[in-house]
Amino acid sequence: MRNYRALIVALALLLALPWTHAQAPQAPRMPAPLLLAPDAHRLPAAGHLERLDDAAGTLGAAQAAQAQSWQPLPGHLSAGYTQATVWLRLRLHAPQPGQWMLLLERVMNLIAPAVDSPNGKA
């Protein structure tokens, strides 16, 4: 009888492991940078954007960049009407030097781009 009890406990533990792993909170996966291919004419940013809500509207670009609460934005921004400042971050990867144009098709009240590049040039 003792062997059966140990077997039942072992089986219960094995069955509980996948459930406890599935219930563990997962950190949001940050989107991959958008690859700026030299032959691409238009690249959708959807799936590459991150969003940061600044309820007080007090963050500067450097503070927003260092914030830990960025969330992946799987599609397009739909912030609705809000008094908060909504920061969007789009990480880019350009394997070769080139010129690109950012086209914003949605209407926003205020857009203030902030560019941060590894070599200090915008």
The ranges of the chain with pLDDT < 50 are none
Task: Please tell me the predicted confidence (pLDDT) of residue 67.
Answer: 92
Instruction: Give pLDDT, residue 7.
Output: 63
- pLDDT at res. 111: 63
Q: Are 70 and 50 in contact (CB under 8 A)?
A: yes
- Residue 99 has what pLDDT? 81
Q: What is the CA radius of gyration of the chain?
A: 22
What is the C-alpha to C-alpha distance for residues 13 and 106, in angstroms, rounded to an integer?
52
User: Where exactly are the structural domains of the chain?
Assistant: 28-93
Query: What local confidence, expressed as pLDDT, does residue 86 receive?
Result: 85
